Structure 1
Amino acid sequence: MLVNSSTVVGRETELALLAEGLADARQGRGRAVLLLGEAGIGKSRLAGEIAYRAFGAGLTVLRGRAGTAGGATMPYRPIAEALLSLFRVGGPPQEPALAPYRSALAGLLPQWREAGAPAEAASVIETAEAVLRLLDVTARKAGSVGCLLVLEDLHDADAETLAVVDYLCDHLAGLPLLLLATLRPEAGPAGQLARRAVARRAAVSAELGPLTAEEVSALATAALAASTGQPPVRGSLPPEVAKRLVQDAGGNPFVVEELLSGMITNGALSRGPGGGWLVRGELSADVPRTVVHSVTERAARLGPAGRSLLETAAVFGHRFSLPVLRRVAGLGDRDLLAYLRAGIEAQLVSPSGPVADWYEFRHALTAEALLAGLLPSERAEIAARAADAIEETHPGLPGEWGPQVAALRLAAGDRSAAARRYAEAGRTALGERALDSAVRFLERAQDLLDGPGQAAERTAVVERLVRVLVESGQLDRALALAETLPETGPGAPPTERLAALHAQLAWAAVMAARHLDAAAQVHHVRGLLNRLDTAALTPAVEVVEAHLALAEQEVSGTERVGRAERLARRAAEAAERLGDAETACQAWQLLAVLARRHGFDHADACLEHGLALATEHGLTNWQIGTMVRLGVNDFMRNGSSASLERAHRATLDHGALGLMHGAEATLAMQAVLRGEFTAARELTDRCLAATARLGNADDHRYVLLTRAALAAHRGRRRELDQELSEFRRSGGEQSLHQALVFGNRAVCSLLEEDHDRALAELDEAIGWENRHPSVFYLNGRYGLRPLLLALTGRGTPAEHRAAAADPAAGLRWNRQFERLAHAVHEGRAGRPAEAAAAVAEAREAARPFPMAHRLGLRLVADAALADGWGEPVDWLREAEEYFHRSGVPAVASACRGLLRRAGAPVGQRRGGTALIPAGLRRQGVTAREYEVFLLLGARPGNQEIAERLFISARTVEKHVASLLAKTGRPHRAALCDYAAETDFPAV
């Protein structure tokens, strides 16, 4: 008789921890729990118990296991199994929010592969983000109050699964998810993951220790009762049996059950006449030998053929495929199924999850016990036959078959064949973007190719490994490994191939802004090319040199840009002649950026050419990336986001998550400029966490900068400073995005009516751009700054004409301000008709930009009143209405002051009370006092406040006195501190 029980005994602390995790998941407080313990200690038993409780509580439960197959693992196997266990019947969810992630998930869910293969297999991080989004949707679906994801035997998991688990641990907070992973506490990648996750407080861990003597007795009693179908009866376990179990099992539940089974099988323990249990023989045993004996004896009861079948299956590992086992064992279907059913009845094997024709041993120790009964030569012979069978049954070795055959060839003693299979598995994993697995397989192949006459094979593996390390972002390792490749002698690769490898390293280094490494690789490639008669690699080198030219700080900006453009153009033309489409696309994209200074028509021509190349050669990511850039240019010229929105839809269709977030971040910035602040907030909220999780540093900084722009364009200085602090913490000051900081500050200063500060910010932007080649053209240099220079009298008409002649001045955002600057100069020169015509042109250019348009009207109205031209009263009324409704009191007040100065009637604005924070409103602060309060944070004098609000200094003094009395501040400095700390209203 065989005994086992699903009863959990003695795990109160761990159960309490997991129950708390379930409760937190139901409240939207996700967490990860890592359950550690030796083989047989009860991890799966405890996971099953908590899964049962979760299901009963209304949570969706997903389970997957990372069992090995012949020492090899398939990327994402336990995660795919967990998802398939839920979606096999009803299919995956169809929520629109998952649309961008369908391509990334297609590798895990066959049901979604029909949606079209992705342009390029998803990276591990993209897959991890997609899994996180899918779990979140699953947890929130109708009828579910959360989700429990159980991943068992993580110590056997592939590198990609571990990467996804690590990612999930870091990003579960705030989601209705509980992740429970079980693993052995031994050293290894999974153990390292557990220690790191716990150390950074991304997960909690619990290690299962041995059961106490009392708990061992309770478990044995429950197991014996389960074997008879009766409820457990206290005291029914003979004392000598309990003593022997405590002594020999070491508190391990699996060993307890195996010992009990052995005692019953050999007749030492049997049921008495009244249903109790009696000892009838010798109970002593050696634990490891007993477990092995128990397993092998049960296998032997299946007969020689049945035992041989299970021993053969054990060579495959914890899991095995029935069709392959049939071929290796040489049994007919009838005999095979008969032995398999007997093995299931003997509780040695069971079906493996939701996958048909796959089976697994009841426990990892079961397979190990069966293998212990084989001689090394027997195991090697079975492994060789198994490898042959897989190769015959699965031509091409798709999925996990390649690494499994490699492991079997190694077990058979054929190191060369194993190395070749590991190398092929590495190529396959690379094609599936399972880069960590590709690295692991190629490293195994490299280690095995150490014999004489294998130098050439080893070199080929090292070359591929270097390329995979580059793609996985491990540039340091790639550079170091590339240095080990011989340039002459046995195993040396052809010079052209070696040069191509170092050219790829050069491109990777320059894209990572590691200019010294890139320059060193270029120098190496140039030396290798001197030995060749071909110029095939010259374009790839010159593209890198073009980027390096832009980074030469000791050379003037104009000279840098000119040299970069010459190199990039030469590279583009040569690459096209040589049929190197990818290098040509690299060059044309750089040329498009450089060509902006000649006009955006030139930039678009470069992009259109690159787009045609990418389309012709099927370079989908380059194609979509170019479409995004064209959409950006279209907005800059015309103020329309339609082209970028089409490109954004293309990123969704192809699952290009990196490009998708870049497009969304740009759409958010465009929404800010169009005054669509709610849309901009929604887009940045969507992108902020995702770009941080995915490690898209450049996109993440741009999102942070967009949030800063959003605050600036609403006149919210405190929010602006907070967002810029986050931008600096992300390394933004060292990026080209720093150029936009000054322009955003200038806009905020204008909305605070601090025109001198705004001009100082724009002057600082000019200084920064003179030191760095600018790739941004809406930062004030060609529009807003010329306007402020005209208004202050610092700019002359001749200087304005020079700025207006630059192609960037024709961009729609810049043109609205440039035309107003021209109007100021014309009005001041006594040409009112020309000035009015320029204002009309500015109004046409400003149609997509309502906030900027009204700000421009407010700015130019001051000069129009002074010089007697235009319709300043109408402009001021329009601007006052807009800024009053938008909650920008300083500008609205300035407009009212100018209207009074013009002698125009000004209605009272009492509706501003709703904009006052609740705390100040309760203290009785009026709308006019609040306008003064907003300006006090910068500690200006009364006269400065009076000038900004167009009221008298005496009136300001009265408002300050009233604010001191109402807020209870002892003096003006304390009131200024209070103003600096108070949040602006949400409008």
Structure 2
Amino acid sequence: MRTTSSITVGRAAELGRLGSALAAARQRSGRAVFLLGEAGIGKSRLAGECAYQAYGLGLPVLRGRGSSTGTVTPFRPLIEALSSRFRAAGPPTDPELDPYRPALARLVPEWRGAAASAAGAGAYPETVVELAEALLRLLAVLGRDAGCVLLLEDLHDTDAETVAVLEYLVDNLAGLPVLLVGTLRAEPGPALDLVRAAERRRAAAVTELRPLPPADVRAMAAAVLESDAADVPAAVLETLADRADGSPYLIEELLADMLAGGALHRAGGRWEVAGGLRTGVPSTIVRSWGRRIDQLDPPVRDLLLTAATLGSRFSVATVQLITGYDDRTLFSHLRSASEANVIVPDGAAPDRYAFRHTLTAAAVTAALAPAERAAVARRAARAILRADPELADERRQLVASLLLAGGDRTGAAVHFAEAGRRVLEAGAAGSAVVLLERAHELAGDAERAAVTEQLLPALAEAGQLERAFELVRTLPPVRPEPAAARPAAVRGPATDRRIDLHTRLAWAAVMAERAAEAAAQVAAARALSGAHPRPEQDAALVVVEGHLALLPDHAPAAPTAPEGDATAAGAPGDEHPGRARLARTEALARRAAEVAERCGLPVVACQAWQLLALLARERGFDDADACLERMLAVAEAHALPVWRVEALLRLGANAFMRTGDGARLERAREAAAGLGAIVLTQTLDGLLAMNAVLRGEWRTAREIVDRCLDATARLNNVPAHRYLLLGSATLAAHRGRGREMERELVRFRQAGGEESFLMPLRHGLCRAIGALLAEDRAGARAELAAGLAWEQEHPNVFYLAGRHGLHPLLEVAEGHWQRPDLTRATAAPATELAWNRQFLGFAEAVLLGREGRPRDAARAVDEARAAAAPFPLAHHLALRLTAEAALADGWGDPVGWLRTAEEYFHEAGVQPVAAACRALLRRAGASVAQHRGGRDAVPAGLRSCGVTLREYEVLALLTDRPGNQQLARTLSISPRTVEKHVANLLAKTGRPDRAALCDLAAELCAGP
């Protein structure tokens, strides 16, 4: 008879919680639920009940589990879960998943071909958080109609990458139609740490399954025996209570043992006990399985013992390698074992079988003596090595585990280390760390240093820099080679490996902006390379040193300027005190780029050209673009997709700065999205948001920030997150919303923005503009001075922060700069950038007017306005400043400029500047527009001339050339008032007479 319960007993509360979670997911209130408990406690049964309920409600269920073989396969539960859904239904085709398919291709085999085609010859190594965000989007699409369930079992056996993805999912399910259900044992490890941390911050519900109480044990026994609870013999219940420890699995196995041994049988319609019931729960289970195995044919018995050595789930192919059986014999034996209810086909993976329970495999192997278990493991390892010397897929880890079980720690360490190296090459640094740490622990003294050298890069790539820097200090010194001064050609390979290791760690530290650790690693590498480094090693170090020189806390401080020295306030002609040092860095980096290309080091070459592009900006953007074009060519020639997008990103940013056109940035974003490079896409989104702010495209900027800000926080993409926060603050500043700007800057500071490279932009592009829109010119100059002071102490890669544009205009407008000052300022290459060029054009006009050259000044304003066309807010702000100077010096058309600026700022809701424009108009004796309701009906060109709504009504009636009396009757005003309105229209439009005014009215009515 069946010896399993047909119902779930004693878990009503847990089933209720799962039911509530399912209902919440259907209402787009996603959550995570973890079922925690020892083996056999009923986690899988509850998970199965949850899946059954979900199927009944029409929810897609994606089901996977961790590996029980001890092998580390990145993302295995997730791949299995998606395959369980897509194997039959196929993957979704929703267009909104297009940007995420390249990342998801790692989990969905059906998308791998398309992803490879999109990436070209190279493949993008997406980060774990990028993959997690892509998976989150996929789950949201699958659950869009009714919700969906991601059910992952045995998480205690899962890999580091899956744990990282789960952490991301747990924190971001709110508001999505997704239920995540996970099961795991309470065993120390990353999965349990994740669950406990999520529970503490209330991001997940954790249900710990307790042993069944006596009443539920009775009910379960009755369900297994298919009888009433009263019919279960008391002796049976006493045995179950004493020896099953409330475990549903052990209850079923003990009952099966009683039935198989005849101790419990049915007589006269009732259950009776014959003789005594055996004692000792663990040994009873072991003996029970031992008897079952002994009853099988010897080949079937040997096959099961071999399979149990591999774990609770095993691959048919691997068992065939070890046993050497042909297909017919193998499947005959598997069928016999399945009929004996020892193993079952694994539904999630067609080529696998599983023991009926995790404890079943443990019980089978426990029936063997320790020496026999070790012999079986060694025999299995040797068989796999003979049949598959290359040890593809998971087999190398399996061989390592079998060697360890067989007592060969050194052999196990070798194979774990090689498995870790391969996994690292595949881009799964977290899993590589797990495998290499295992090898490190098993390795003997002679091998440990070599394993450490493999482990360190994995730690760096996994972001575990503290552990890496701690471990690198434990490496034994390289065997002395008189030679730190000997030529590189005769230096030993151990020294070269150590130099390369320190260089890789130094690059990781630079990318993490950890200047002190980077400098220490560079120093260690330089000490080993001595006076005669290999050219390729020297090139890699030069590149790291160059990037290190640009870090804020590594660049040497500028000397203090004497009191009263104009350079202290950022006057023209000041230069960064490290300019000579940067010039030397540039020369060395150029030589490093050439060496890297010659020696076949394309990544180092890309790093070098990127550095050179940053340094070349000081000379001009033609040189910078030439470096980036070279970087792009190297990346494309060597199929380096990440570096290709990096080059496109920087070329797009340069193009926008030079012209104000963001089209090339948009194309770079398309390339990043097509590659599935989510982090790079977010970086580009930040640039596009700031560009939209500068162009006055407020709605576009707001949409980008709102769409991307939370995602950058979820992915821990700190640079992009800070930039978007600054973009949001700058958006508020450019709209004259001071309080909103301050709130956004608080968030920027909390994200560490004030310790970043973004400070010049914070001072100049954000706060200084905000101060000018509040008519606080002194505050604006103070912010610009603070930005210049920051640049005096740090290398600067931002050229639109005010130093080369807004700052000169303000200094000229305030009368602090004269012609020589502006001439020196315009000598910098950055003054050719579109944003800066507009301000400098207006500054030139102010100086020309002040020098008594009115025609030249007016012409300069026209040119500056043409350059300012892409930037409406900056255009009108500069127009307001220039008009004030023109009024004072008596040149140009200050009244017209002020009316244009007043109209713009009134429509934009920036009242301080609009009011200042009106005050200047009154000072000039000009009429001031009255902003009454309906004034939007006045065409913008007429509004800028100061035409009022009533005057426009008069003008509109002039198309039929009526007289003043007729106009007065139509408008219900006096003829004298009509005459006054006509006179004002003539003056404001510049028309010579009434006939010309009538012609203008006819043109307006005719339309475009």
- Tell me the TM-score normalized by structure 1: 0.87
Residue identity in the other structure for 2:333: Y
Q: Distance in 2 between matches of 1:469 and 1:372?
A: 37
Of the candidates 459, 473, 476, which is equivalent to residue 483 of structure 1? 473
Equivalent residues in 2 for 1:902-941, closer than 5 Å = 902-911=924-933
Task: Report the secondary structure of 2:399's partner residue.
Answer: helix
Q: Pick from 675, 694, 698 the counterpart of residue 673 of structure 1.
A: 694
Could you tell me whether the CA contact under 8 Å between 2:543 and 2:592 is conserved in 1? no
* Distance in 1 between residues matched to 2:798 and 2:420, nearest whole Å: 42
Q: Which residue of 1 aligns with 2:349?
A: 355
Match for residue 889 of structure 1?
A: 911
Indicate if the aligned counterparts of 2:103 and 2:126 stay in contact, CA closer than 8 A: yes
Cα deviation for residue 666 of structure 1 reads 0.9
Superposed displacement of residue 426, structure 1 = 0.7
Q: Deviations over 1:71-97 (max 9, x none)?
A: 223111111111111111232223333
Query: 1:658 offset after TM fit, Å?
Result: 2.3
What residue is the counterpart of 1:971 in the other structure? none
CA distance in 1, matches of 2:347, 2:389: 25
Describe the SS at the equivalent of 2:314: strand
Q: Say whether the 8 Å CA contact 2:29–2:178 is kept in structure 1.
A: yes
- Change over 3 Å in CA distance of 1:167–1:660 after alignment to 2: same
Q: How does 1:180-329 map to 2 (within 5 A)?
A: 180-225=181-226, 233-274=228-269, 276-329=270-323
Secondary structure in 2 matching 1:186: coil
**Does 1:651 find its partner at 2:672?**
yes
Deviation of the 1:170 alpha carbon: 2.2
What is the match of residue 662 of structure 2?
A: 641
Task: Compare 671-680 and 889-898 and name the one that shifted more.
Answer: 889-898
Asked if the contact 1:124/1:433 (under 8 Å) is kept, the reply is: no
User: Aligned runs of 1:731-770 on 2, under 5 Å?
Assistant: 731-743=752-764, 744-770=766-792
Aligned pairs for 1:535-934 (under 5 A) are 535-550=535-550, 551-555=554-558, 558-577=576-595, 578-579=598-599, 580-743=601-764, 744-911=766-933
**1:147: which partner in 2?**
148
User: RMSD of the TM alignment (CA)?
Assistant: 2.5
Greater shift, 653-662 or 408-417, is seen at 408-417
Q: Distance in 2 between matches of 1:345 and 1:450?
A: 46
1:168 CA displacement: 1.9
Hey, what's the Cα distance between the residues in 2 that align with 1:641 and 1:105? 29
Q: For residue 506 of structure 1, what is the aligned residue in structure 2? A: 506
On the 8 A contact 2:59/2:143 being kept in 1, the answer is yes
SS in 1 for 2:869: coil
Distance of 1:762 and 1:206 partners within structure 2: 57
Contact 1:18 1:50 in 2 (8 A): yes
- Cα separation, 2, equivalents of 1:343 and 1:686: 55
Question: Aligned in 2, Cα 1:308/1:726: closer, same or farther, shift over 3 Å?
Answer: same
Q: Output the amino acid matched with 1:157.
A: T
Which SS does the other structure have where 1:558 is aligned?
coil
Letter in 1 for 2:515: H
Are residues 644 and 459 of structure 1, via their aligned partners in 2, closer, same or farther at CA, if it must alter by over 3 Å?
A: same
SS at match of 2:390: coil
Secondary structure of the equivalent of 1:537? helix
1:975 corresponding residue in structure 2: none
> In 2, Cα distance between the equivalents of 1:598 and 1:194?
54
Per-residue Cα deviation, 1:599-624 (whole angstroms, up to 9, x for no partner): 21121122222222333333332222
Q: SS of the residue aligned with 1:597?
A: coil
| Contact 1:561–1:773 (Cα < 8 Å) also in 2 | no
1:121–1:431 Cα contact (<8 Å) kept: no
How big is the shift at 1:523?
Answer: 2.5
Q: Which residue of 1 aligns with 2:985?
A: none
In structure 1, the residue matched to 2:49 is: 49
- Post-superposition Cα deviations, 1:421-463, rounded to whole Å, max 9, x if no partner, equal 2122111110121112111212222333316xxx3x5433221
* Secondary structure at 1:786 match in 2: helix
Pairwise CA distance, 1:711:
1.1
Deviation at 1:913, TM superposition (A): 13
Q: Give 3-state SS (helix, strand or coil) of 1:708's partner.
A: helix
Partner Cα separation in structure 1 for residue 140 and residue 25 of structure 2: 11
The 8 Å contact of residues 31 and 179 in structure 2, kept in 1 or not, is answered as: yes
The offset of 1:152, in angstroms, is: 0.9
* Counterpart contact for 1:383–1:412, Cα < 8 Å: yes
Question: Contact 1:542–1:568 (CA<8 Å) still a contact in 2?
Answer: no
Q: 1:567 to 1:759 in 2, by over 3 A?
A: closer
Change (3 A) 1:908 1:533: closer
- Shift in alpha-carbon separation, 1:833–1:207, aligned structure 2, 3 A: same
1:220-258 deviation line (CA, Å, top 9, x unaligned): 222222xxxxxx645343333233322221111111111
Q: Show CA shifts across 1:871-891 (max 9, x none).
A: 334333433333333333333
**Structure 2 CA distance for partners of 1:318 and 1:78, relative to 1, 3 Å:** same
What is the CA deviation profile of residues 32-70 of structure 1, one whole-angstrom value per residue up to 9, with x for unaligned ones?
22211111011111111122223333433221111322x
8 Å CA contact 1:300, 1:306 repeated in 2? no
Structure 1 residue 903: Cα displacement: 4.5
Q: Take 2:185 and 2:329, find their aligned partners in 1: how far apart are those partners?
A: 36
Partner amino acid, structure 1, of 2:475: L
Please say which of residues 402-411 and 904-913 is displaced more in the overlay. Answer: 904-913
Q: CA deviation at 1:791?
A: 2.5
Q: Judging changes above 3 Å, is the alpha-carbon distance between structure 1 residues 880 and 87 closer, same or farther for their aligned structure 2 residues?
A: farther
Q: Which amino acid aligns with 2:133?
A: E
1:985 maps to none
Per the alignment, in what secondary structure is the counterpart of residue 487 of structure 1?
coil
Deviations 1:383-434 (A, max 9, x none): 2343344446656333322211221222233333322221221111101211
Write the distance in 1 (CA, Å) between the matches of 2:313 and 2:928: 83
Q: Are the counterparts in 2 of residues 264 and 270 from structure 1 also a CA contact under 8 Å?
A: yes
Q: Distance in 1 between matches of 2:292 and 2:907?
A: 83
Q: Is residue 29 of structure 2 the alignment partner of residue 29 of structure 1?
A: yes
One-letter amino acid matched to 1:196: A
Q: Kindly indicate whether the alpha-carbon contact (under 8 Å) linking 1:509 and 1:517 is maintained by their aligned counterparts in 2.
A: yes
Q: Is the 8 A contact 2:221 2:229 kept in 1?
A: no
1:303-347 deviation per Cα after TM superposition (whole angstroms, max 9, x unaligned): 332222222111110111112223433444334323323333333
User: Which SS does the other structure have where 1:116 is aligned?
Assistant: helix
CA distance in 2, matches of 1:300, 1:485: 52
- Matched ranges for 1:415-564 at <5 A: 415-450=409-444, 455=446, 457-489=447-479, 494-530=494-530, 532=532, 534-550=534-550, 551-555=554-558, 558-564=576-582
In our comparison, the structure showing a higher alpha carbon Rg is 2
Amino acid at match of 2:452: V
CA contact (8 A) 1:324 1:393 kept: no
Where 2:578 maps in the other structure, the secondary structure is helix
Q: Are the structure 2 counterparts of residues 392 and 834 from structure 1 closer, same or farther at C-alpha, using a change threshold of 3 Å?
A: farther
Distance 1:885 1:351 in 2: 72
Distance in 2 (alpha carbons) for counterparts of 1:332 and 1:601: 69
CA shift in 2, pair 1:490/1:484, >3 Å: farther
- Tell me the equivalent position of 2:402: 408
Cα displacement string for residues 163-211 of structure 1 (whole angstroms, at most 9, x for unaligned residues) = 2222222222332222221111132332222222222333232211111
Q: Post-superposition shift, 1:695?
A: 2.2
- TM-superposed CA distance for 1:502, in Å, is 1.6
Residue in 2 that maps onto 1:174? 175
Query: What is the distance in 2 between the residues matched to 1:96 and 1:288?
Result: 55
Q: Does the CA-based 8 Å contact 1:64-1:80 persist in structure 2?
A: yes
- Percent identity between matched residues is 53
Q: 1:805 offset after TM fit, Å?
A: 2.4
Structure 2 SS opposite 1:736: coil
